[in-house]
Amino acid sequence: MRPTTVMRMMTNDEDLAEAAAAGDGVAFGSLLDRHYDRLFAFCFRLTGSRSEAEDLTQDICAALPAKLASYQRRAKVTTWLYRVAVNAAHDRRRKRATYTKATEGWGDWEINRTAANQETDAQLDWLTVAMNQLGDDLRDTLALVLDDMTHAQAADVLGISEGTVSWRISEAKKMLRAIKQKEDMT
Partner 1 sequence: MTDDLDDLKSMMADATPRPDAARRAENLALAQRNFDALQGSQGDARPTAGTGPKGLWTGVKTMMNAMTSKGGLTATTALVACGFLILTPQGQGLLRPPSPPQITMTEFDGTLRGPVVTETAVGEMQTADDAPVSAVREETALKTPATDLAFENSSDTAEAMASDAAPQLSASPLIDALEVAPPAPQDEIAESIASTTTRMRVAGQVAPTEAMPTAPAAVTPKDDYRVAPTPDTEAFANADSNPLQITAETPVSTFSIDVDTASYAVVRSSLMRGQLPPSEAVRIEELINYFPYDYAAPDTNEAPFRPTVSTFQTPWNADTQLVHIALQGQMPAIADRSPLNLVFLIDTSGSMDDPAKLPLLKQSFRLMLDQLRPEDEVAIVEYAGSAGQVLAPTAASERTTILRAIQSLGAGGSTNGQGGLEQAYSVAEGMAENGEVSRIILATDGDFNVGLSDPSALTDFIADKRETGTYLSVLGFGRGNLDDATMQALAQNGNGTAAYIDTLSEAQKVLVDQLSGALFPIAGDVKVQVEFNSAQIAEYRLIGYETRALRREDFNNDAVDAGELGAGHSVTAIYEVTPVGSPAQLSDPLRYAPAATVAGSDELGFLKLRYKAPGEAVSQLIQTPIRQAGGPDSEANFATAVAGFGQLLRNPQYLGDWGYDEAIALAAANRGEDAFGYRTEAVQLMRLAQSLSE
* H or E segment to which residue 100 belongs: none
Residue from 13, 14, 18, 32 binding partner 1 (CB under 8 A): 32
Residue from 13, 18, 59, 171 binding partner 1 (CB under 8 A): 59
Phi and psi at 77, nearest 5°, equal -60, -40
- 77-98 and 136-145 are packed helices; what angle lies between their axes, rounded to 10 degrees? 150
Residue from 8, 16, 17, 20 binding partner 1 (CB under 8 A): 20
Residue from 3, 11, 15, 50 binding partner 1 (CB under 8 A): 50
Residue (of 57, 29, 39, 64) closest to 16 by Cα position: 29
Binding to partner 1 in span 124-183, by CB under 8 A: 124, 126-127, 130, 142, 145-146, 169, 173, 176-177, 180
> How many positions of this chain bind partner 1 (CB under 8 A)?
48
* 16 binds partner 1 per the rule CB under 8 A: no
**Distance between CA atoms of 111 and 40, rounded to whole angstroms?**
21
Q: How far is the CB of 10 from partner 1 (least distance, A)?
A: 21
> What would you report as the CA-atom Rg of the chain, rounded to the nearest whole angstrom?
18
Q: Which residue intervals of 11-76 are DSSP H helices? A: 13-21, 25-47, 50-67
CA 77 centroid distance within chain: 14
Q: How far is the CB of 57 from partner 1 (least distance, A)?
A: 6
Binding to partner 1 in span 98-117, by CB under 8 A: none
**Distance between CA atoms of 65 and 85, rounded to whole angstroms?**
13
Footprint of partner 1 (CB under 8 A)? 1, 20-23, 25, 28-29, 32-33, 36-37, 40-41, 44-45, 50, 53-54, 57-59, 61-69, 91-92, 95, 120, 123-124, 126-127, 130, 142, 145-146, 169, 173, 176-177, 180
